[in-house]
Structures are given as structure tokens and as C-alpha cells.
Structure 1
Amino acid sequence: MDPLEGEASSVSVEYEPVSVKDVLVEMKDTAELLIDLSYSAVLHRNADLAQEVLRLEQRMDVLELRARMSLMMAVRNPDDAEELAPVLGIVAATGEISDAAGDIAKIVLEEMGLPDAMRAALPEAAETLVRGVVDSGSAYADRTLVDIDLESETGVRVIALRRGDNWLLNPGPETTVASDDVALLRGPDPAIGKVFEELTGERYETPTIEDPGIEDLERAVDTIIHMKNLSELAVDLAYSSVLFDSAQLAEEVRNLEIEVDALQSRFEAWTLRAAADAEDPVVLRGLIRLGTSTEVISDAAIDISEGVLREIDVHPVVQLAVQESDELITRVEIEPGSELDGTAITNGVPDVESTMSVIAIRRPDEGWLLVADADASLRGGDVLISKGTRTAAAAFEELAQA
């Protein structure tokens, strides 16, 4: 048994007055980081990243307990119970995402096996996520992120820091990178190696990949990569549907879950066919675990947005979280003949006067297109999932109208 697995049960969690809103926000941020880390650990076969997933999973267990305690203390009458029931559902679903991420990480830690085609399927332009310990002699040590200006100089971002048992999620410009911090970095592959070496004082090595050339296996891997991307989007939309009480976004979560279920069926068929041609079918065990866990994440997204789908009023603790955020995710359907109809879109940015960034497109006859995967031209009938400020979102919706 991994040493981390035995620690969770020994942690004592006592009730203490905390903001439910703050706990929910931290759970959301932790869940999103868990998904990111777990898949990166598998795709790059990185045991250090997988260990960080298990540490975060333990942190999520504590957050889940604290959230449940606070919600139980907040119920005073039947009306409170009705409003808080969906929030309790969010807490439970977030815990399911955490457990699924832990199962994905164990593919690496238990050496369950995963075909090299898994990494071969990664897009060449995809960003890489790495883990490194900040060396005391690093030029980045004991400086703030704004002082280092890492992202502007290299395109590499510090997405999280772990200082002992404490996590700093979404570090801001004034966050200090301290010696011995565990830093999680994301950025373009050509740049991240140099940053990693400067940060840690260690050499960065990219693993070599051999493609076995099994056609059904390549199809299975392509499918699981698409399932991963759609599940991540579903979780993002699910939280947004709750935060902004948006029935439209909740409905898109349901559409995504249906698509992931369909992909899961195809994935299972291609994996079984690939087993007949694989030199060692046992290496497909990890791929099967990955498919199962990915579907769990997709199902959890539906559970998060269930209250919105059932038209239950958003509880005030959730509304407080919305009021602090100026950025939101929106759903817009393009009307034929509108200014957006026929507009080119590059790297998520449509060729119009707008600061909105398009995350995904759902086409009635073609399904989902994740804009990060390819450039595209918008069409009448497209449903766009976009991110931006409230002001920009209102103007963007007008551009979609004929």
C-alpha cells in the first residue's frame, strides 16, 4: 500500500466555524487541479505528479468533511434543507471527482500498464505539466511571481504551489516562490524544460515514445483523449451553471455527459479489439481504468448541476461566490445571418470586436468541437461556450443575433 493511502484515516477533523462559500470555492479549485494533475501524471508517466494527486485527494477529504459539517449546522428549517440539498450534492460530487482522479493516478503508482500510444496521441503543441522542488540557489527562489515575470518571459505558468502540507492554488502576482516549495508548472514543451532546470537545478528529460501501430488501439486512445477533454469541460460548465444559476449551461453539461457515454461504448469496443493484436494485452489494464474513471468524472458533473436542472433556487452561499467574480462562462447560440455567422476563430478568439474567448462549439450535426484543438469558422446554429467579463458577454450575445 502506498504510504499516503494510510494517512487519510488518521487525520482528525473537528468542526470549526468556516465560510461554506470559501470551502466550496477551494473544493472547486482543488477538483479542477486534481483532474489536470491526474491525467498529466498518466500521459507523461510521472510518479511525482501522481503522488501530488494523492496528497490533494487527502486535502479534498478534509474539505468535504468540513463542508458537510458546516451545511448541517446551517439547516434550521425545511426551507433551509431544500436550498442546501443541492449544495450537499455539489460537495458529494466533488468528492467523487477527487476519488476518480486518485484512481487515475494509481495507474502510474501501481504500474498498472498503459500503452505508449497513449503519449503518442498527445498533440505536438500541447502544453506540458511538470512538478519540481524549488532549489535554494534558483534565480526564482524567494521572489514574487510578478517580480519573476515568468509567464510573460517564457509562457510557463505556476499553477499551484505546495509548501509542506499547505497548498497555494491559483497563485497570484504577489505570491512568493519560496525555497523547497513544490511547484506545479504548465507551459509549452520547448520552454518548460529550461524553466524546470532553472527552478530545480536538475536536468529536464523528455521520455521517448514508441508508437506500436495498432489501429484499434490508436482509435481507443484518441477516444479516451476526447473523453478526457469533454469531461473537463463538463466539470467547468457544471460549476459555472451553479455559480451563475444558468439552466442553459446545466443543459450543456447533460449534452456533454451523453456524448461521453457514447464515446465510452466505442472506447470499450476498440480496446477489446486491440487486445487481440497487442503483444501483451495486460498493458491495456490502465487504459480500461482510465476510461472508467473518466466516465465517473463526467457523471459527477451532472450531479453538480442537478439543483439547477431541477430549478431549485441557488443558496445565498453560492450567490456570494458569484458576486466576487466578474468573469463568467456563457452559452450563446449563433443565429443564421448574424455577425458571428461565418466568422473565423483562431486559438479561441473570434475575428470580431470582442474580448470573449470561445472554449467549445457544439454543432447540431457534428457534436462537440473543442476550440483549443483546431481553428474553425463559426456557423449559424452553432452553440458557443465562451468565457469573459459580464460586459463582454452581453455584447457578444448581441453579435450572435441576426
Structure 2
Amino acid sequence: MSKRFKGESLRDILINLKYYSSIAVDLAMYSLAFRDNLAAIEVLKMEETIDDLYKEAIAKLIIAFRSTTYLQQALGLISIASSLDTISDAAGDIASVVLRGYPTHAYITAIMCHGEAVGLVKSRKHYKGVPARVDVLLLKRGDRYEIAPRTESILEDDVIVVRGPIEEVLEVARTLGEESLSKEKCGLEVSMQALGGDALALTLLSLKAISRSMLDLAFYSLLSNDKSIADTVAEMEVYADKLYHELLEHLFTTSYPGRSSEMVSLAVLTKSLEEISDAALRISNVIRYGQYAQVMSHVVSEGEEAYTRVKFKLREPLSLRGLGLEDRGFIPIAIYREGDWIAPVSSDVQIKSEDEIILKYYRVGEEIRILEELRERGLEPIR
């Protein structure tokens, strides 16, 4: 077992386990969509790190919970650690497709720019800070690579891989003088044609969206110890399984553009998304089965990804797109309306007075200023 994490607390190990598994998934998706071998190699390195974190977490849990007094909490923490390890394994499978040389189907590139996007930007200038609300997954400076860098400035010729709302990713590119990254480069032209009526493309897009929403909602259920949200994740898993089986049927029965070898990339991505949705269910089951422990909230609240729940206070209905949330770096996860949850969330959905929205954002800038921006849009933080 690696000795790298032996001196760290269980809380710190779980925080790192959550953060690196999240990065691994998005970096793997990026590597597959844009055929980036470097990013794929970094994903496999991260998978090894996550394996070490997982083993150390289990070792600490076995020692800490030798009595039966806190057995349920111990089982919950083991389930969370195991689920995060499963997520990193799914990311590793995606990255392996890239390194084995299989071509990427155009549909995969297309869906990358729907919702939360990942993009590579080469800086053409020096810039202090990060020019938009995005998460920097990877920094290449000269011959040195850094995962999840804590850099305060971007230098000329730095290469960064960022994730966030598509408009924020494009804003990073524009600010740093990178003109090659655009909506067209991300594949939106392909998507307008491919996703307009192709059942395989639409189902793949739906599975990507629902697996991501499930994971975010599962984390939020840990943050708030909210069983109703955890139950919603369980309901979404039934639908995710349905999408998964529909995709398998499409893969083996539908004639689609591209060479037959591209089926490998579609099949592996489909299976990996299904594994991520299963992992989200196991995380939410911790709340559903009464296995909550306070450290779980700390793990979510102290990560780079932040969540808030807001209530819409304006009288007149407004489309989610009209609120301009994604333009400011907020990613809508789910809407609570009259006792029911709506997830995933379409940008065209109408927001009504007293609707509650769970938002995700990245910790860039002051929290107070971020929450004030929400209030200016008629959204009052309630949790």
C-alpha cells in the first residue's frame, strides 16, 4: 500500500477521493471527445492515486470503527469510498479507449458541449487569476504538468484544461486569446444535425445528463442529509437503466454514420456512464438507509465544487435561460416544485415563484459576492 496518504485524516482522504474522482471523469470525457493522449495518460495516473486513497480510507475505517456502536456510519463511509473508486475506474476505462487508438464517434464530441463542458485552452497572454468561473483540471507549463493546480495566474503559452458551463469555458478561451476553441470546434454544429432526430445520439445525451445530475444530487443529499433528494436519485436510476438498455439496442441494431470501430468508443462510454449512475445511487443510499455521518457533509462542503439551494422570489415566471445563471458560472442541477423534483434541468424550463433550484458552482471568488449575484436575479439562498 502506498505511504503517501498515511499521515492524512479520514476526512482529508475522502475529500481528495471525491475531488480526484470527479476530475478523472471529466478529464477522461475530454480526452475521448478530442483524442488527447496526454489527458488520457493523466487520467490513468489519477486512477492509481485514487486506488491508493481508497485503500487508505478503508484501512482507517476498519481501525476507527472496530466496535459495533457506529457500524451503520462505517458502512456508509465504506460505500461512499467504494463508489468514488468505481467512478474513477469508469474514467480509466474511457481513457483506455483513447490510448488503444480507437476512433471517437462524432456524437461523443457533440455531447461534450451540452450542459457542463470541458475544453483545452492555450494561453496567448499573461493573465492574473482565472478569467471565468471554471474549474482548472490540468495545467501544462513548459514540460511540467499539474493536476488540479492552485495557480494564481496564467502565463503565456500555458495550456489548461477547464470545465464549467460552456459559455464560461468559451469566455476563458476568448480572454486568453485562444481563437481555435469555439462552439463549432466543440461539436455543436455536429450536434444540431446529429441530435435533432437520431435516437442513438439523443439517448446518449440523455444518459450523460442524467448520470451527471444523479451524481451531483447524491453529493447534495450528503451535504444536507436530505432523504427526499436521495429518493429522487433512486428514481432517476430506474430511468438511467432504461436509457442504458435502449443504448445497447441502438448500438447493435442501428445503422449510424462512421466506421464500425467507432462502436467501441460508444459502447465503453455507455457502460461507463451506467457505472457512474450506479455509483451515484450507492452514495444516495447512504442517506436512504440511515447511514449518515457528519464527516460526509464536510467532505462535500470543503471541495472545489460548491452547492447552494435557492428559492425563486420573482412574481412573473421566467425561463431558466432568462435568469442567465450559466453565463455567471452557476450550473442548475434540479428544481423542486410542489413536492416533486425535476432533474435533469432543461434551460427552456419555466421557473415559477417559490420554485427551489439546486445550483452547482466552482469556488472562484468571494462566496458573499457570488450569493449577492443570485439575489439580484430574484434567487434567495435558503441552504
Please state which band the TM-score falls in when normalised by the shorter chain.
Answer: 0.7 to 0.9
Shift of 1:159: 3.9
Whether 2:365 is the aligned partner of 1:386: answer no
User: Partner of 1:184 in structure 2?
Assistant: 161
Shift of 1:91: 0.4
3-state SS in 2 of match to 1:78? coil
Shift of 1:156: 6.8
CA distance in 1, matches of 2:83, 2:349: 34
Q: Which one of 12, 21, 26 corresponds to residue 31 of structure 1?
A: 21
Shift of 1:168: 5.2
Q: Which one of 349, 354, 362 corresponds to residue 376 of structure 1?
A: 349
User: Partner of 2:252 in structure 1?
Assistant: 272
Whether 2:198 is the aligned partner of 1:218: answer yes
CA distance in 2, matches of 1:92, 1:124: 29
CA distance in 1, matches of 2:243, 2:315: 30
Q: 1:110 to 1:298 in 2, by over 3 A?
A: same
Q: Which amino acid aligns with 1:25?
A: I
User: Partner of 2:207 in structure 1?
Assistant: 227
CA distance in 2, matches of 1:255, 1:150: 38
CA contact (8 A) 1:97 1:300 kept: yes
Once the two structures are superposed, residues 1-35 of structure 1 have per-residue CA deviations (whole angstroms, 9 ceiling, x without a partner) of xxxxxxxxxx7447724211111111111121112
User: Partner of 2:364 in structure 1?
Assistant: none
Q: Which one of 99, 119, 127 corresponds to residue 89 of structure 2?
A: 99
CA contact (8 A) 1:217 1:270 kept: no
CA distance in 1, matches of 2:118, 2:81: 30
CA contact (8 A) 2:216 2:333 kept: no
Q: 1:383 to 1:271 in 2, by over 3 A?
A: farther
Once the two structures are superposed, residues 10-65 of structure 1 have per-residue CA deviations (whole angstroms, 9 ceiling, x without a partner) of x7447724211111111111121112111111222222221221121111111111
Identity of aligned residues (%): 22
3-state SS in 2 of match to 1:95? helix
CA contact (8 A) 2:334 2:359 kept: yes
TM-score of the two chains, using structure 2 as the length reference: 0.74
CA distance in 1, matches of 2:115, 2:300: 34
3-state SS in 2 of match to 1:281? coil
Once the two structures are superposed, residues 254-280 of structure 1 have per-residue CA deviations (whole angstroms, 9 ceiling, x without a partner) of 1222221121122222222324x6563
Larger deviation: 204-213 or 114-123?
204-213
Q: Which one of 264, 283, 291 corresponds to residue 285 of structure 1?
A: 264
Structure scoring higher RCO (CA < 8 A, sep ≥ 6) equals 2
Residue segments in structure 1 that go unaligned for 5+ positions in a row: 1-10, 141-146
CA distance in 1, matches of 2:57, 2:253: 44
Q: Which one of 93, 108, 120 corresponds to residue 118 of structure 1?
A: 108
Q: Pairwise mapping of residues 321-332 of structure 1 onto structure 2 (< 5 A)?
A: 321=299, 328-330=307-309
3-state SS in 1 of match to 2:176? helix
CA contact (8 A) 1:41 1:50 kept: yes
Whether 2:296 is the aligned partner of 1:318: answer yes
CA distance in 2, matches of 1:208, 1:242: 33
CA distance in 2, matches of 1:104, 1:183: 20
CA contact (8 A) 2:138 2:162 kept: yes
CA contact (8 A) 1:231 1:295 kept: yes
Shift of 1:95: 0.3
Q: 1:108 to 1:381 in 2, by over 3 A?
A: farther
Once the two structures are superposed, residues 280-335 of structure 1 have per-residue CA deviations (whole angstroms, 9 ceiling, x without a partner) of 333212111111111000000111122201123x2243354467689544497x9x
User: Partner of 1:305 in structure 2?
Assistant: 284
CA distance in 2, matches of 1:245, 1:41: 34
Q: 1:265 to 1:43 in 2, by over 3 A?
A: same
Q: 1:68 to 1:369 in 2, by over 3 A?
A: closer
CA distance in 2, matches of 1:349, 1:214: 26
CA contact (8 A) 1:103 1:293 kept: yes
CA distance in 2, matches of 1:59, 1:259: 32
Instruction: Give the alignment's Cα RMSD to 1 decimal.
Output: 4.5
Shift of 1:204: 7.7
Q: 1:66 to 1:190 in 2, by over 3 A?
A: same
User: Partner of 1:255 in structure 2?
Assistant: 235
**Greater Cα radius of gyration, structure 1 or 2:** 1
Q: Pairwise mapping of residues 121-270 of structure 1 onto structure 2 (< 5 A)?
A: 121=111, 123=113, 127-130=117-120, 139-140=125-126, 148-151=128-131, 158-161=136-139, 169=148, 171=150, 175=152, 183-186=160-163, 187-189=168-170, 192=173, 195=176, 218-270=198-250
Residue segments in structure 2 that go unaligned for 5+ positions in a row: 362-366
Whether 2:334 is the aligned partner of 1:360: answer yes
Shift of 1:192: 2.3
CA distance in 2, matches of 1:15, 1:122: 34
3-state SS in 1 of match to 2:102? coil
3-state SS in 2 of match to 1:311? coil
Q: 1:184 to 1:321 in 2, by over 3 A?
A: same
User: Partner of 1:79 in structure 2?
Assistant: 69
Q: 1:166 to 1:80 in 2, by over 3 A?
A: farther
Larger deviation: 385-394 or 294-303?
385-394
Once the two structures are superposed, residues 160-202 of structure 1 have per-residue CA deviations (whole angstroms, 9 ceiling, x without a partner) of 447999955373xx6466899874234544762783869xxxx
CA contact (8 A) 2:32 2:97 kept: yes
